Structure 1
Amino acid sequence: MNRHVTTGFLPGSALAGADLALPGVVPLERRRLQCYLALLFSDMAALFSGFAAAGWLYLGPDGLAQGSHLAQLLLPIFLTVALYNGTYSLHSLEHALSGAIRAQIALGLAASAVLFIAFYTKSSASFSRVLFSGGIILSSLMLAILRAQMRSFVRWRCGGRIIHEIVICDGGVPIVLPGARVIDAAAHAITPALDDPVSLHRIGVLLRGVDRVTISCHPSRQRAWATILKGANIDGEVVDDAVARLGAQGARIVSGHGLLRVSVGPLGLRARALKRAFDLIFASCALIALAPLLLAVALAIRIEDRGPVLFVQRRVGRGNRFFDMIKFRSMTQSLSDPHGHRSTLQGDPRVTRVGNWIRRTSIDELPQLVNVLKGEMSIVGPRPHALGSQAGNKLFWEVDERYLIRHALKPGLTGLAQVRGLRGTTLHEDDLVQRLGADLEYLDGWSIWRDLAIIAATARVLVHPRAY
């Protein structure tokens, strides 16, 4: 049953397909974030400059302090409204006029809120109504001017388009989308093979830096493409009318063709930024605090077996792309299993004495904090599995096609399945199905508070009867 786990997974051939990366496709997500921040600081500058100018014109130099104070009162309300009404959104980047209008609406609502609060707290007499009104008018004018100027900045950072969009033609009807690059799957040897991690890796490389992809393929390959795109952390669509069969999340019509959305990234930009910031802070602090323990474990492994301290194994990460996961080596060097063909059993003779202790306490997983810092893993997420892992007599992805969907997020050091005790050897297919259910549940409705709860719960299962 290990027919797919062959020499094709050796490091050299696993990287085959690096030439599939599309020329001229520079990932725009970070640049879009820069544009959002630039727009935010531009709006803040418009607000303060408008009120400062109003204060100067009405009261002279003494009015600057009053104007600045009013701007400070208005700013948090303005930013709150602006963040919720889409002033800093992808749509606002693509349509500058829409973004400018939303910013003006946010300013108007913020001004109304301040007046409402001032009226009911009877504090309106503490500031000049003329200065406040003038500040709103001049701030609105400055918003319009600076927003117009920011169009050049957005164009400079992101080019002519805010997103990279491609169409992959895999035997389906010809389709042309405005601004999208058309890719011939046959010419690039791209095949949606769910049982071949190397093919999935090649597709992952092709999609790197792409924001939206549309697939035009034969009906027999639609389910495969839909599954791959759901696990690729990308906004994906398939040209088809079979909404119910594909479980489509949305639809649109372009050039007379019906497009079904089959996947979107599970986390928005702000959520990903928050999760990444948390990962960096947590992993950095953990490595510093645990440095003495990590050094002691490394010395113990070296003294007992004289072999390498770390064990590196290729795993599948976000977007079905391979990465090298590191652990403390817990098995005898000559009996290590780099491809994960054989799951570790209780009392496994391959495990060393030190290895048995660090596996029972989950200390062998701590070097993956380095994977977190490198951006290959997250503190919380679906656990990455070895390519040859089996449930019963089937490879993991053969048991349930939904398995690939778990790759929509970075793999985690711990996860919802782990804190529920779903870990250890998968002797039966149901062992994997239960684990997969927990992973998919985690993907649905992420929050930083849930991550913190899972981390807290992990402390209770570090030592577990199935940790061997």
Structure 2
Amino acid sequence: MKKRYSYLIRPIQIILDVLIINIIVYAIYDKEYLNISFISYITVFWLLISYFSGFYKIYRFSRILRIFTLLFRQFLLFTLGYFAYFGIFKEGEIVHNQFLILASITISISLVKLISLIVLKKYRALGNNFRTTIIVGFDDSSKNIIKLFKSKSNLGYKYLGFFSSKMYKNKDYLGNIENVFEYATKNTVDEIYCSLTSLNKDQIKSINKFAIDSNIILKLIPNSTELYSKNQNIEYYDDALLVLNVNKLPFEFAENFYIKRIFDIFFSLFVIIFILSWLMPILWILVKLESKGPLVFKQGREGIKGKEFICYKFRSMEINEQSDKVHATKNDSRVTKIGAFLRKTSMDELPQFFNVLLGDMSVVGPRPHLESLSLEYQKDVDDYLKRHIVKPGITGLAQVSGYRGEIKRKSDIKNRVRLDIFYIENWSFFLDLKIILQTVLNVFKGEEKAY
């Protein structure tokens, strides 16, 4: 198991900057500013502009020029928003200590950012917080990357060796290209760098698939004379070496994970407090009158990274031994009358908002499957396990596109997985909102497979 702690650096920086802003306002102690509205305004505004300007998107290979560019852009926008507060709430009035607060925030955060960067580089130069790397292909471009890894220890890369179709007596030579998979499986490898001039498309494709399945970052070392796709991010190491970053998924960015989680918490709380609080007692009476058994049905489902969790649903069937093995079918005799209504309106899924609040599920995501059915689907569908990269959802892109309920043909599950993977690779907050809105519309419109 890889122990990575670099993901904590960015949240710590954000918390530290917010603390600096609030401490400075408090330390200068001007009664005009010691109010919730002002502190909330500048804190939220800081977080918003830092998200959209990419202020915290700094990597171990980032150039010092980029740091200064980010500082300049961030404080330019912050200054405009800062004075906008007084224009809106103070009617243009110049208040005592107004400029002192802004200057103190600017200087303090800039110094902390630069000092923390220097300290982090020194820490990495001592052999800490490193990423282990291997190179596939041995040519002039890959030699330059190897030279950089060996000479710039403060970048935090631990070079393990290279693979090539040709044999070398070089001590760094680890084997031919086919040995990459075995080596990376037996050793802790964080990043694989592939030379585009040394490998063919099929080799790149197989290494890319292996990297995704093994949670390894894949980067491409290009020929500087070629043109590249918009889907590949260009990165410069040490101001000169060009590297292509391969298809970074939206949820690899920590801020996207936090945005989705915060939305999940507030949305699930809203549903639980304003809908389930009065609906559950009514349904308890109706369900009990028709059949014996609990109101809430509990079932093991596969969650993020394939871990099982207990999924909650309003019970829509008579108690039976096939519930964990067989999906409901059209005119299923196990389904009760009230259960048929719950399924038709998708109300049986509402208890899953408790799963969302507990962190097992998300409001939007791939639907969770039974483990027995999941093992069957893995045999028929390529890349099925990619669905486990994110939390399962109450609703999803596949569901609102008509692929829900009973699986009659292999094409049904293939199309469902195809849309699930598209969602994972193209996630945005607005896509989630669109799917939620479409789900609500489908409930009122009615769905053919809602049984």
- Give the TM-score of the pair, scaled to structure 1: 0.61
Matched, 1:291 2:277: yes
Aligned to 2:58: 90
Which secondary structure state, in structure 1, belongs to the residue aligned with residue 413 of structure 2? Answer: helix
2:359 partner letter: G
Aligned to 1:56: none
Q: Deviations over 1:337-377 (max 9, x none)?
A: 42x4x432212234445544433332332222222112221
Tell me the distance in 2 between the aligned counterparts of 1:97 and 1:46: 27
Structure number with higher relative contact order (C-alpha < 8 Å, ≥ 6 residues apart): 1
1:466 partner letter: K
Deviation, structure 1 residue 414: 0.7
Tell me the distance in 1 between the aligned counterparts of 2:49 and 2:254: 18
Q: Is the 8 A contact 1:165 1:180 kept in 2?
A: yes
Identity of paired residues, percent? 22
Residues 133 and 297 of structure 1: is their aligned pair in 2 closer, same or farther, counting only changes over 3 Å?
closer
Matched, 1:467 2:450: yes
Matched, 1:396 2:374: no
Equivalence map 1:309-458=2 (5 Å): 309-315=296-302, 317-338=303-324, 340=325, 342-389=326-373, 395-458=376-439
Aligned to 1:37: 15
Tell me the distance in 1 between the aligned counterparts of 2:365 and 2:416: 12
Equivalence map 1:205-224=2 (5 Å): 213-214=191-192, 223=205
Aligned to 2:173: none
Q: Is the 8 A contact 1:405 1:440 kept in 2?
A: yes
Deviation, structure 1 residue 149: 6.0
1:106 partner letter: Q
Aligned to 1:226: 208
Which ranges in structure 2 are unaligned for 5 or more consecutive residues?
Answer: 139-144, 150-155, 161-179
Select between 132-141 and 456-465 the one with higher mean Cα deviation. Answer: 132-141
Aligned to 2:261: 276
Deviation, structure 1 residue 38: 0.9
Which secondary structure state, in structure 2, belongs to the residue aligned with residue 376 of structure 1? Answer: coil
Q: Is the 8 A contact 1:248 1:261 kept in 2?
A: no
Q: Deviations over 1:138-165 (max 9, x none)?
A: 665444444456569989x999899774
1:304 partner letter: S
Q: Is the 8 A contact 1:43 1:146 kept in 2?
A: no
Which ranges in structure 1 are unaligned for 5 or more consecutive residues?
Answer: 1-20, 54-63, 191-205
Aligned to 1:7: none
Tell me the distance in 2 between the aligned counterparts of 1:344 and 1:167: 48
Tell me the distance in 1 between the aligned counterparts of 2:328 and 2:210: 29
Q: Is the 8 A contact 2:301 2:368 kept in 1?
A: no
Tell me the distance in 2 between the aligned counterparts of 1:441 and 1:408: 12
Tell me the distance in 1 between the aligned counterparts of 2:378 and 2:205: 14
Deviation, structure 1 residue 413: 0.3
Aligned length: 401
Deviation, structure 1 residue 90: 3.5
1:457 partner letter: Q
Compute the RMSD of aligned alpha carbons.
Answer: 5.6
Tell me the distance in 2 between the aligned counterparts of 1:379 and 1:213: 32
Aligned to 1:57: none
Tell me the distance in 2 between the aligned counterparts of 1:260 and 1:307: 55
Deviation, structure 1 residue 329: 4.1
Tell me the distance in 1 between the aligned counterparts of 2:250 and 2:233: 15
Residues 93 and 85 of structure 1: is their aligned pair in 2 closer, same or farther, counting only changes over 3 Å?
farther
Aligned to 1:265: 249
Matched, 1:107 2:75: yes
Q: Is the 8 A contact 1:279 1:378 kept in 2?
A: yes
Tell me the distance in 2 between the aligned counterparts of 1:413 and 1:99: 41
Select between 97-106 and 450-459 the one with higher mean Cα deviation. Answer: 97-106
Residues 461 and 131 of structure 1: is their aligned pair in 2 closer, same or farther, counting only changes over 3 Å?
closer
Which secondary structure state, in structure 2, belongs to the residue aligned with residue 270 of structure 1? Answer: helix
Tell me the distance in 2 between the aligned counterparts of 1:433 and 1:38: 46
Deviation, structure 1 residue 461: 2.7
Tell me the distance in 1 between the aligned counterparts of 2:402 and 2:268: 23
Deviation, structure 1 residue 410: 2.0
- Give the TM-score of the pair, scaled to structure 2: 0.63
Q: Is the 8 A contact 1:301 1:354 kept in 2?
A: no
Deviation, structure 1 residue 449: 3.3
Q: Is the 8 A contact 1:318 1:407 kept in 2?
A: yes
